[in-house]
Chains A and B, each alone.
Chain A
Amino acid sequence: MTREEIMDKVNEIFREVFDDDSLVITDSTNSEDIEDWDSLEHISLIISMEKEFDMKFDIKEVNKLENVGQMVDMIKSKME
């Protein structure tokens, strides 16, 4: 899967979790850009990604994430 394809799927997950079909995310999007992105929604995002990409993350690497781009890179690195 290319990085762009991963980004598309991640964007779909964001739209579902935040219930906003118009939401467009970029590499630099972070929790300050989306009002509802609190700690509980962050858990929902990560759980949805684990299910979508059939992988498990480590809580330490999840806690280090600073934006969507790093999230996508983490997913891509686990696929390789």
Chain B
Amino acid sequence: MNEYTYDRIEVGMKEGFSVRITEEEMTKFLEITKDVNPLHNDEDYARSKGHKKRVVFGMLTAAYLSTLAGVYLPGKYSLIHSVKTKFSGAVYVGDELRIEGTVVEKNDTFKIIIVKVVMVNQNQEKVCKAEMQIGVI
């Protein structure tokens, strides 16, 4: 886990990591959220809507924003204030995502950083964009 303190963070700093979305994660997410929407749970339905298979829950993909802030940027001293997210492409089970955040702004008064995040899949297609306001406690 990274342990960046506010003073060590600079605008332009980048951190990232990669994950593979698994079947097990889909099952666990369903258990936790009870989101039974067929787009995420029924292969035939997903195909009928133009997808090659079930679409991964957007919020499961977005959950990795928590990891980005809490483990990588800034890591240990993170306190997420807000997250704006756009889902720009479908994610499927087995996709490997690269999640990368860049510090675009700092506020010394509140010790807050603004991090822009881009997630791409194994084909370098953008699947999620986000802007996070994170306190460095």
* Residues of chain A whose beta carbon lies under 8 Å from any beta carbon of chain B: 40, 43, 46-47, 50, 56-59, 62
- The segment out of B20-28, B29-37, B55-63, B108-116 that lies at the interface is B108-116
Does B18 sit at the interface, judged by CB under 8 A? no
Please tell me which one of the listed residues B81, B107, B108 contacts residue A40 in the complex, with CB atoms under 8 A apart. B81
Expressed in whole angstroms, the minimum distance between the Cβ of B111 and any Cβ of chain A is 8
* Chain A residues in 8 Å Cβ range of B82: 40
Q: Closest residue to A43 on the B side, CB-wise? A: B110
Identify whether the interface residues of B are mostly helix, strand, loop, or mixed: strand
Identify whether the interface residues of A are mostly helix, strand, loop, or mixed: helix
Number of B residues contacting the other chain (C-beta, 8 Å)?
A: 7
In the assembled complex, 13 residue pairs joining A and B whose CB atoms fall closer than 8 Å, in A order, are A40-B81, A40-B82, A43-B112, A46-B109, A46-B110, A47-B110, A50-B107, A50-B109, A56-B108, A57-B109, A58-B109, A59-B109, A62-B109
How far does the alpha carbon of A46 sit from the alpha carbon of B107 in the complex, in Å?
A: 10
Q: Judge whether A47 and B107 touch: CB under 8 Å.
A: yes
Beyond A47-B112, A56-B108, A59-B110, 14 additional pairs, beta carbon < 8 A: A40-B81, A40-B82, A43-B81, A43-B110, A43-B112, A46-B109, A46-B110, A47-B107, A47-B109, A47-B110, A50-B107, A57-B109, A58-B109, A59-B109
How far does the alpha carbon of A46 sit from the alpha carbon of B112 in the complex, in Å?
A: 12
How far does the alpha carbon of A57 sit from the alpha carbon of B110 in the complex, in Å?
A: 9
How far does the alpha carbon of A47 sit from the alpha carbon of B113 in the complex, in Å?
A: 12
How far does the alpha carbon of A56 sit from the alpha carbon of B106 in the complex, in Å?
A: 12
How far does the alpha carbon of A23 sit from the alpha carbon of B114 in the complex, in Å?
A: 27
Expressed in whole angstroms, the minimum distance between the Cβ of B120 and any Cβ of chain A is 29
In the A-B complex, the 6 residue pairs with the smallest Cβ-Cβ separation, listed nearest first, are A57-B109, A43-B110, A47-B107, A59-B109, A40-B81, A56-B108
